[in-house]
Every structure is written in C-alpha cells, then in structure tokens.
Amino acid sequence: MASWFTKMRMKMKYGSPVILVSGLPRSGTSMAMKMLDAGGLSVIQDGIREADEDNPKGYFEDERIKDLANMEDKSWFRDLRGRVIKVVSSLLQYLPDDNFYRVVFVRRDLHEVLASQQKMLDRRDEDTQTEDEAMLKMYEQHLEKVQFQLRFREYFDVLYLSYRDVLTDPRREAGRMNDFFGGRLDVDAMAAVVDPNLYRNRREQG
C-alpha cells in the first residue's frame, strides 16, 4: 500500500485518483463494482454487456477498456478521476502513468475461477484446449507479476479483497473498503447488495 507521503504527493500532482476495480475474470469484480456503486461512488459503465445467467446482477463494464493495450490516446482517463471503472488484471500494465490509481483488487480461489470460467464457456458452446493445471500455473504467474506491479509502482494504492470473505461477511469487508476510501461510503448499502446465493462453484476448504 502506498505510504501517506506518496498519497499526498500524488494527490497534489494529479488531483483525485482514478478508482479501479480489478482481478481475474470471474473473480468477483462485478460484485465489487456493485458495492462501490451502492456505497455512493460514481461508477463508469456503458451498459453494452447486459446481465445474463453468468452475471445476473450485471457486469458494470465499459467497452473502451478492452482496447486499452492498443489505444494511443488515453487522455480520457483524466476525466475518470474520482470515479470508478473496472479494468481486468491483464490490462493494468497499459494504464496511462499520468494518474494516481486507487485499486480494489479482488482475489478468488483459482480452482473456483477456472470452474466458473468453464461453466460460462459451456453455456456459450465455446471450448478451450488448455488443461486446468496449465491454466492454474499461468494464472499464478500472472498474479505474481500483477501484485509486484501494484506494490512497486508508486501511482498505485491497492486494497485486496477476498471473494470468499466478502460473501461470508459482507459488512466487515464493506467496512474495509470504506476505510480505504476515507470513511465516506454507505457501508450498510454496500453490504446489502452482496448476494451469498451467487457463490456458485464454491471450493471446500481442506
């Protein structure tokens, strides 16, 4: 997490931070977006990707993010300062470095992520040829790189959330999010939008 001094210096340099929700696909990022929306923050979404069986509460996405890796002009990110946008973990490296970012990063058991992704692919009649063990290794290596980046690039300040913990004790985790954002969120409203019934593909802890 960024030091107090770094946060103040970045705020003086760039103004309000761009707020990001990030993580692997199917890790609970849409849930975190919904919580921040309920908490009172301004959430960016274009509504193009509609709610479906895989995400009945909605995706909270902005299609522009998908082109981030190849986008030359990213100056529009400055207009997002003080607002929330979802950026999948693989695209964090392509963010413009002329902003300060406060990141809510959602982590989920990788076996659960893979199971959820596979069910989504099955419903869409899509297939993947990659074995689970290979995917697990790839995700582990990817997350190591992402977490290194979030730790050592000074324009990032990050709060890590556990998908399981949010669904198990939503009010406690909403409280942590509230603390991260300076105590200005509606914790009760955030906790109320968490639906434990959507915790599908649960992996029992051994």
Residue ranges making up the domain that contains 69:
4-197
User: Which of 136 and 47 is assigned the larger pLDDT?
Assistant: 136
pTM (two decimals): 0.88
Residues 18 and 99 sit within 8 Å (Cβ to Cβ) = yes
Q: Could you read off the pLDDT of 69-126 as tens digits, one per residue?
A: 999 999 999 999 999 999 999 999 999 999 999 999 999 999 999 988 887 776 666 6
Confidence of residue 59 (pLDDT cuts 50, 70, 90): confident
Q: Could you read off the pLDDT of 145-200 as tens digits, one per residue?
A: 999 999 999 899 999 999 999 999 999 999 999 999 999 999 999 999 998 887 65
Q: Residue 131's pLDDT is what?
A: 74
Q: Which residues pair with 19 in a beta bridge?
A: 84, 102
Domain count, the chain: 1
Cβ atoms < 10 Å from Cβ of 5: 8
Mean predicted confidence (pLDDT) in 17-40: 96
Averaged confidence pLDDT in the chain: 89
Q: Is 174 a domain residue?
A: yes
Q: Is 204 a domain residue?
A: no
Task: Give the CA dihedral 107, 109, 115, 118, nearest 10 degrees.
Answer: 40
Q: Is 147 a domain residue?
A: yes
- Cα–Cα distances (Å) from 125 to 26, 56, 121, 177, in that order, read 18, 19, 6, 37
CA distance 169 to 196: 10
Indicate which CATH number applies to the domain containing 116: 3.40.50.300
Q: Is 10 a domain residue?
A: yes
Q: Is 205 a domain residue?
A: no
Q: Is 128 a domain residue?
A: yes
Q: Is 160 a domain residue?
A: yes
Q: Is 46 a domain residue?
A: yes
Residue 206 has pLDDT above 50, yes or no: no
Residue 51 has pLDDT above 70, yes or no: no
Work out the angle at residue 87's Cα, subtended by the Cα atoms of residues 81 and 88, and round it to the nearest 5 degrees: 165
CA distance 196 to 145: 30
Pairing outcome for strands 83-86 and 18-23: parallel
CA distance 94 to 92: 5
